[in-house]
A and B are shown apart, each in its own frame.
Chain A
Amino acid sequence: MTRKPVTGADVCVVGAGPAGTIVADRLAASGHEVVVLDAGPRFDPDDRIRRQERSIRPSFSRPDVWDGDAERDAYTSSGEKGYPLNHARVKGVGGSTLHWQGMVMRLHEDDFNSRSARGVGVDWPIDYADLRPQYAEAERELGVSGASDNPFAPPREEPHPMAAFPPSYSDSLFADACEELEIAMHSVPNARNSESRNGRSACVGYGTCQPVCPSGAKYDATVHAEAAERRGGDGHRPRTRPAARTRPRIGRGGRLRDAGWRDS
């Protein structure tokens, strides 16, 4: 086991999914030295097409696509209901966005005031209006294609960063049926490039976004892992290091003591 301690890092981010890598990128941009640790490997982008064949062939299961390892990723469910955790998560730089669908709807205004509006849940201390600028920023970061055709969506100030994908042939079949039944139909914003953007390809229609996009048109958090790394590229602060396996040690009182890691 090789340990490569990093001394003097300002921030250690554990987990290179979208939450961790976007935070790391932001911190790195504002001059902090950041270390990012992840429990899984850094996947080679050139292997994605091979992973796609696994997603199509029946002899491979969903966790096989991203090298899930039932032994490494053993877990237990308490209570009566089991949860297929290893089908839901990907362990590695990029996290679960490597196999997510990338539909990114903003919450409705009522979601923030559920108790008052619907009589269930709680009212949050923030409103949609408070988060609105952050939503717009997140959509720019991920690269979202969408239309403003959703009568139920909360108001937005600006259009989505990219135009929506045109409706499919099967959408046209549903459109007729929905019209007859007076059901409103609308598009859903997608973190998938309808045009090439920031060095990433436009969608080429492989149709395997979930569980793997070989072209990189679908957003995944490797985008921000790489962006964070580039910011540290000159060898000065900030520095980031997407790494291999991590074992955060939790000290008394539930506080993180340190995070050891080793190459896998």
Chain B
Amino acid sequence: MELTRRDATIALAALSSGGAAAVGLRAVRERDDPPDRLDDDAVVSAMIALAEVLYPSAVSGVEPFVETFVTDRLEREGHGEALRATVTDLNELAVAWHDAAIDELSPAAREELLREAGADVADEVPDGTTAERVRYFVVNELLMALYTSPTGGELVGIENPQGHPGGTDTYQRGPPS
């Protein structure tokens, strides 16, 4: 099932400015001297690389979808900075543990990295530990983008996923047979 930039725009319209704006900002401000952050292009390619292992294999078109989505989320006050900080932290772990940046890792190593970081078992907490923040700003962020888009909803047989204004005719249709 092909994801498109339009899917990303629709997911963005549904989510608009980050729900965790204020919280994310606090998480970042608590550090006195912010370390160097990845630039936006590097954050986007890391998120694309991670989405490739997070999204079901039935989904194609991940790159334009994630690029559109993440570029916009990075511009959102508070949320963007916390997202950048979290991907930077995860990237540091990638370099320390696998000697390469996230987008240079093999798909298997990217998946391993997420597990090693604890993001597979952590609950999402926007101002929490690294594992909790990776869960919030990377794993759940990407999954939410997918499943509030029409194509993502269709993938799991939900014609009108929660958070997506698909109109009232959508819920009258059954799952695709």
Residues of A within 8 A of B (CB): 49-54, 56-60, 165-170, 172, 194, 202-208, 214-215
Contact stretch, chosen from B17-25, B28-36, B54-62, B88-96: B17-25
Report the bound CA distance from A51 to B14 in whole Å. 11
B64 at the interface (CB under 8 A from A): no
Instruction: Mark the stretch among B1-9, B44-52, B103-111, B120-128 that contacts chain A.
Output: B120-128
Alpha-carbon separation in the docked complex, A51 to B163 (Å): 11
Decide yes or no: A204 and B124 within 8 Å by CB, A49-B17, A50-B19, A168-B171 being known contacts. no
Q: Which residue of B lies closest to A47 (CB)?
A: B17
Determine if B144 and A59 form an interchain contact, defined as CB atoms under 8 angstroms apart: no
Q: Which of A60, A202, A206 contacts B14 (CB 8 A)?
A: A206
Closest 3 CB pairs of A and B: A53-B19, A49-B16, A204-B165
- A residues near B15, Cβ cutoff 8 Å: 49, 52-53
CA distance A235 to B162 in the complex (A): 43
* A218 vs B131: C-alpha distance when bound (angstroms): 38
Contacts of B14 in A (CB 8 A): 49, 52, 206
Chain A residues whose CB sits within 8 angstroms of the CB of B159 once the complex forms: 169
Contacts of A214 in B (CB 8 A): 165
B170 touches A205 (CB 8 A): yes
A-B contact pairs, 30 of them (CB 8 A): A49-B16, A50-B18, A50-B21, A51-B19, A52-B19, A53-B20, A54-B19, A56-B19, A57-B19, A57-B20, A57-B140, A57-B144, A58-B123, A58-B124, A59-B20, A59-B125, A166-B168, A166-B172, A167-B172, A169-B171, A169-B173, A169-B174, A194-B168, A205-B171, A206-B162, A207-B162, A207-B163, A207-B171, A208-B162, A215-B165
A215 CB, min distance to chain B CBs, angstroms: 7
- Check A50 against B140 for contact (C-beta < 8 Å): no
Q: Which secondary structure dominates where chain A touches chain B?
A: loop
Main secondary structure of the interface of B (DSSP, over half): loop
Taking A59-B124, A59-B126 as contacts, is the C-beta distance between A205 and B17 under 8 angstroms?
A: no
Interface hub of B17, B144, B159, B163 (most chain A Cβ within 10 A): B163
Bound-state CA distance A205–B126 (Å) is: 28
Shortest distance from the beta carbon of A88 to any chain B beta carbon, whole Å: 21
A58 and B140: CB pair below 8 A? yes
Indicate if the CB atoms of B167 and A205 lie closer than 8 Å: yes
Give Cα A222 to B163, complex, Å.
22
A58 to B128, CA, bound (A): 14
List which B114-156 residues lie within 8 A (CB) of chain A. 123-126, 136, 140, 144, 148
B160 at the interface (CB under 8 A from A): yes
> What is the chain A residue whose CB lies nearest that of B124?
A59
- Min Cβ gap A145→B in Å is 10
A191 and B24 CA atoms in complex are apart in Å by: 36
Given contacts A53-B18, A57-B19, A58-B124, contact A206 B163 (CB under 8 A): yes
Interface residue from B21, B125, B144, B172 paired with A56 (Cβ < 8 Å)? B144
CA distance A50 to B19 in the complex (A): 5
Give the residue of B16, B162, B165, B168 whose beta carbon is less than 8 angstroms from that of A165. B168
* Min C-beta distance of A248 to chain B, whole Å: 31
